């Protein structure tokens, strides 16, 4: 279980910071408008979480190639980040 700690902790803090920033930027539950384009409240953090998934995927591929032993953990976290990102975007 020690292999998981570093990767999970890093990704959880990044996702928490993104959600916290989005909560600070949001004005209640109202929709933000920019030139008559309506953006839901969590669109920024959802997109950033979706962009974090390929970074983890590429890191996992490199770690697998170098036989570090924790490549599959990054690949699993990448899939979980995709699920979280799409869920946040659909809120």
Condensed to tens digits (0 to 9), the pLDDT of residues 52-87 reads: 899 989 988 888 888 877 778 888 889 998 998 888
- Mean pLDDT for 31-47 is 66
Q: What is the pLDDT of residue 39?
A: 62
- At 25-38, the pLDDT tens digits run 765 545 555 555 55
Phi–psi pair at 62, nearest 5 degrees: -65, -40
pLDDT for residue 29: 47
Q: Which conformational region is residue 28 in: left (phi greater than 0), alpha (psi within -120 to 50 degrees), or beta?
A: left
Q: How confident is the model at residue 19 (pLDDT cuts 50, 70, 90)?
A: confident
- Segment 38-60 shows an average pLDDT of 82
Residues 74 and 56: their CA atoms lie apart, in Å, by: 6
- pLDDT score of 7 more than 70: yes
């Amino acid at each position: 279980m020690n292999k998981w700690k570093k990767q999970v902790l890093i990704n959880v803090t990044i996702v928490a910071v993104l959600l916290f920033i989005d909560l600070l930027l949001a004005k209640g539950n109202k929709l933000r408008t920019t030139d008559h384009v309506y953006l839901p409240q969590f669109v920024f953090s959802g997109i950033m979480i979706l962009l974090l998934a390929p970074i983890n995927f590429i890191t996992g591929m490199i770690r697998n190639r170098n036989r570090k032993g924790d490549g599959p953990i990054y690949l699993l976290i990448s899939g979980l980040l995709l699920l979280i990102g799409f869920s946040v975007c659909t809120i």
